Structure 1
Amino acid sequence: MTAVGDIRGTTHDRRAVISVLRRLRAPDGQSNPFPLWAELRSMGDVVPAPWGGYFITGFEACSQVLRGRNWLVPDFAWQERQPDAERWHAPATFEMSSKLSRLNAPAHTSQRRSLGNPFDRQTIEDMRPEIAAHTTRLLDDLEERLRTHGEADFVATVSEKLPIHTVGRWLALPAEDYAHILDMTHRQVHAQELLPTKSDLAVSEEATGQIRAFFTELVRGRRAHPGDDVVSDWIRHWDEQFPDDRAAADRIVYDLTMFITIASLETTATLLSVTVAMLLQNLAQWDWLRGHPEHVDDAIEEALRYDPPIHLNSRIAADDTVLAGVSIAKDSMVHVLFGAANHDPRRNESPQTFDILRGGAHLTFGGGAHYCLGAALARLEAQTLLTQLLNRFATLRPASDLTYAPRMVFRRVTSLKVTT
């Protein structure tokens, strides 16, 4: 691998990097990370992390890492090679290390092939009417709350409910368990933060135990009473791969079902909230889009670029390599900063301007073997919601700013008050 384009190396000012990270975790940094991304990017496209490894800030360098075959995810094998391997044995961390996003070839290849393209064009079209119908029901509830109370929390009323219903119907999860699944997901995700505290890990450990119990029982029940549903199909597929080991088949089905469920909730909910919030903060674009609905998809892509639901993902150098002129040793960890990359002015001019006609580029869904398998579904949910919202709520306005959970990896909008 060679350096990417004409871009700079690194800074070694550890205190400056720590300062940016601290401010990114603070409330002001959560609500407005854009100048902090620019500050970190000004230190170089490859910036040493205070604890070892590197932050990757530039668009081209991040793209190269995400798409390059010699960049791996930190799987079990890598974790066991580390001198501090014990840090990876926290139950919540260990649990996620067996999921699709933390697998390399050949295990990753095998599981992805078993899934095929779960959201191909025909599947998306088949799901469209149900998503549209449920979106209508949620917006009916929003309308009633606005009529009764004068304002409503868009996140609690709409954004968080559409994704769980969508994936829940697809996997045939019990509707009465939707709220419980959401709650477990919100608590489990702390283990996937960049530097989780002991209290974060304790919260995640409890949630992980509950998630494990829920999805283990789900797979057990689906095996006992198979039906015409996705999970039952996976059981049949993996029984063929492991004809003499049903326990092995069930473990893989559990991993797939659990991962796809929790991976599709907060990320999509954040996309829905951010898209609506950014348009309401730019009312001229909101009003223009109402008259030009053919550009709804452009608005969604700009929201994905502007404030991605995931701000950071990690990769491992499979070999000694050079990235953006910086030598990186085998097994070194790099952290791809999606937000910083999407706001790289060398790729997107005036990146802090929200412009639905930008036609720019983003890396929000990743790239290469680990490209987000739910990207088409997330886009469909956002498209359906935004189209209906523009048609029904011409005078919708923000009643408060977005509020965010204090995280650096998974972005979660906790509240967006709206009024008319």
Structure 2
Amino acid sequence: MGDLVPAPWGGYLVTGFDACNEVLRGRNWLVPDFAWQERQTGTERWHAVATQEMSRTLSRLNAPEHTRQRHSLGNLFDRRTLQDMTPHVEADVARLLDRLAERIRTDGEADLSELVSEQLPISTVGRWLDIAPEDHPHILDITHDQVHAQELLPTRSQLAVSEAATLHLRRYFTDLVRERRENPGDDVVSGWIRTWDALDSDREATDRVVYELTMFATIASLETTATLLSSMVWSLLRSPGAWAGLRERPEDIDGAIEEALRYDPPIRLNSRVAGEDTELAGVFVPKDTMVHVMYGAANHDPRRNPDPHVFDIHRKRSHLAFGGGAHYCLGAGLAKLEARALLGQLLRRFPTLRAVSPPEYAPRMVFHRVTSLRVAA
């Protein structure tokens, strides 16, 4: 239908790889921040509590505030940090796979998504932020509800569910930041407080920024990584000979992860607005027009990836699953670490793993959440 397809609700769907890449990296393409929202008609969605809360986080900020906050974080997951985290992630994977193996022995099959894929990211980010393990299930549940507000066309009922979850998250992470200020340690949140105290003398403003960073880091790292883990395993199991071949050549694991990201990205689309009158893929786009970057379509553009519907772990890596430009995913390295640890141990411990049925998905358009993937061995 073309690189730029008019959306029924206004704006455009961007489908071609090069056009999507241009939007993600172009300085004249902005995220829909508060300033843009105030210029819109029919503002019920934009005035919703959950939308307003997320609009204060890093993903909805433009320069200069986005630049300021991102620079304050530095490289969150540099090589040394990932090396330090690796033994803990490997131990978490081993623990979760013990549970998976036990359930398969008992029942003949088990839900990989429920027992492993969803649990590994919350264990990882929970340890990183020093969140009490007993709080992990609660955070996971309310995160699933909160992301409704980030969907493309959320209904009123979805916005209401998201609002309740957002208020829970606000209370939880505001209390967490307050506790770290009163009892600072060597954890990431305490470090952010010290960093922002040095940048801003207003402690209330500092605590608000740290709360927003902490909440965003948690939400952004859970559903996306969980879906990557399940989709990666499903794609390998449904490709003839792929599981056995990867066991024989574990050096191809990184290629399998990259291909999983290309083939079935955890986020299906992301929205940008034109910062000025511009042209995209030969089409005039007026200022403030919203476009939706279709990650899956871009990754399956045959001009960039020949035979795009073939799952090929030896393919030259070329995908936009982590976005691009100023808003490139901060947690890309961490997500790959978790995927690498899980796939490596699964291949060793479950040589005859098979899918009992295709995965089940939540009825969403943005966050492509896998809710169930039943496997046997």
Question: How big is the alpha-carbon RMSD for the aligned residues of Structure 1 and Structure 2?
Answer: 0.8
Secondary structure at the residue paired with 1:264?
helix
Matches within 5 A, 1:235-254: 235-243=193-201, 245-254=202-211
Offset at 1:84? 2.9
Q: In structure 2, what residue type is equivalent to 1:82?
A: Q
Structure 2 residue aligned with 1:166: 124
Q: Which of the residues 307, 323, 345 maps onto 1:350?
A: 307
Offset at 1:283? 3.9
Q: Which of the residues 44, 48, 53 maps onto 2:6?
A: 48
Matches within 5 A, 1:83-232: 83-232=41-190
Secondary structure at the residue paired with 2:165?
helix
Structure 1 residue aligned with 2:360: 403
Distance 2:232 2:199 in 1: 42
Distance 2:273 2:42 in 1: 16
Is this contact kept in 1: 2:255–2:317, CA < 8 A? no
Name segments (4+ residues, structure 1) moved above 6 Å.
Answer: none
Matches within 5 A, 1:322-333: 322-333=279-290
Q: Which of the residues 259, 269, 274 maps onto 1:317?
A: 274
Structure 1 residue aligned with 2:349: 392
Residues 118-173 of structure 1, C-alpha deviations (whole Å, 9 max, x = no match): 00011000100100111111111111111111100000110000000000000001
Q: Which of the residues 212, 224, 233 maps onto 1:267?
A: 224
Q: In structure 1, what residue type is equivalent to 2:370?
A: V
Distance 1:47 1:415 in 2: 32
Offset at 1:86? 4.2
Is this contact kept in 1: 2:177–2:210, CA < 8 A? yes
Secondary structure at the residue paired with 1:155?
helix
Structure 2 residue aligned with 1:364: 321
Residues 27-73 of structure 1, C-alpha deviations (whole Å, 9 max, x = no match): xxxxxxxxxxxxxxxx1111111121110000000000001111100
Matches within 5 A, 1:37-76: 43-76=1-34
Secondary structure at the residue paired with 1:315?
strand
Q: In structure 1, what residue type is equivalent to 2:207?
A: D
Offset at 1:357? 1.1
- State the TM-score, normalizing by the size of structure 1: 0.89
Distance 1:71 1:201 in 2: 26
Distance 1:166 1:359 in 2: 29
Secondary structure at the residue paired with 2:302?
coil
Number of matched pairs = 377
Distance 2:235 2:278 in 1: 39
Secondary structure at the residue paired with 2:307?
coil
Residue 86 to residue 199, structure 1, CA distance change in 2 (3 Å): closer
Q: Which of the residues 70, 78, 100 maps onto 2:36?
A: 78
Q: 2:238 aligned with 1:281, yes or no?
A: yes
Structure 2 residue aligned with 1:24: none
Secondary structure at the residue paired with 1:336?
strand
Distance 1:143 1:191 in 2: 36
Structure 2 residue aligned with 1:32: none
Give 5+ residue unaligned stretches, structure 2: none
Give 5+ residue unaligned stretches, structure 1: 1-42
Identity of aligned residues (%): 68
Distance 1:68 1:359 in 2: 24
